[in-house]
Amino acid sequence: MASESDGSWLGALIDWTVSLMEVIGPVGAGIGIALENLFPPLPSEVILPLAGLTASRGSFTLAEALIWTTLGSIVGAFVLYGLGAWLGVDRLRRLADRIPLMKGEDIDKTVAWFHRHGGKAVFFGRMVPLFRSFISIPAGITRMPLWKFGLLTASGSLIWNTIFVLSGFFLGEAWPVVEQYAEILQYLVIAAVVIAVVWFVVSRVRSLRHERQAEG
């Protein structure tokens, strides 16, 4: 099966994932998606359509592609959940106090928000580039019940995986069209993150200035 390698490290990584699918079938696709959760630069928008394309050629069934890629998503998510549980709230609070422009109370506010909206964040986060991976960490930090985290992760991942696996299955060699639209979504997410970070920095700097003026 051909892949679009450009000679870069990312292209080599994609080629390696493709070779896994060729050698060990749908399990290779599952391993690729598990790694994508742990290493976001490895794009699921490439691995999943290639899994669908391979299924369309009869190397394995469509059901196997969906099952194994979803299992890969769950495994990768639980590894990051474990990382979040290891970090814990207290450790993050101490770390935040040492970072310029941040305070330990920022962690408390984030944890409180996640307790209120964590279920929706995990479910929908599984369908948002970048957040697909990182949303597992606050779930671990807040010790979301394992059964709940697993169910929400499986549900959200199945939807995301199905969209891209089916695109490869039905579009065949034309699957890169879907990747182009996925890249647009990723750019929008990155832009939103950048805007949020800038807004946070500006707001925090203004707040610090007001505090200094009040003290003076």
Cα angle value 42/34/2 (rounded, 5°): 50
* The pLDDT of residue 161: 93
Q: Is residue 3 part of a domain?
A: no
Q: How far apart are the C-alpha atoms of 135 and 121, rounded to whole Å?
A: 7
Whether pTM > 0.95 for this model: the answer is no
On whether the CB atoms of residues 168 and 51 are closer than 8 A, the answer is yes
On whether the CB atoms of residues 107 and 89 are closer than 8 A, the answer is yes
User: How close are the terminal C-alpha atoms of the chain, in Å?
Assistant: 69
* The pLDDT of residue 63: 93
User: Please, which residues have CB within 8 angstroms of residue 62's CB and are 6 or more apart in sequence?
Assistant: 52, 55, 56, 165, 166, 169
* The pLDDT of residue 156: 94
Q: Is residue 210 part of a domain?
A: no
* The pLDDT of residue 78: 95
Q: Is residue 204 part of a domain?
A: no
* The pLDDT of residue 186: 66
* The pLDDT of residue 216: 58
CA of 85: how far to CAs of 37, 69, 103, 142, 200, in Å? 17, 24, 20, 7, 26
Q: Is residue 80 part of a domain?
A: yes
Q: What range does the domain containing 87 cover? A: 9-175
* The pLDDT of residue 5: 47
Radius of gyration of the CA atoms of the chain, in A: 20
Residues 142-181 have pLDDT tens digits of 999 999 999 999 999 999 999 989 988 888 666 666 666 6
Mean pLDDT per 10-residue interval, the chain, length 216 residues: 50 70 85 84 79 84 93 94 90 79 76 88 86 87 94 95 89 67 67 74 69 64
Q: Is residue 200 part of a domain?
A: no
Q: Is residue 151 part of a domain?
A: yes
Per the structure, the count of domains in the chain is 1
Q: Is residue 154 part of a domain?
A: yes
The torsion angles phi and psi of 171, rounded to 5 degrees, stand at -85, -20
* The pLDDT of residue 119: 92
Q: Is residue 208 part of a domain?
A: no
Q: Within its chain, how far is the Cα of 119 from the centroid? A: 16
Element spanning 90, H or E: helix 62-98
User: Please, which residues have CB within 8 angstroms of residue 143's CB and are 6 or more apart in sequence?
Assistant: 85
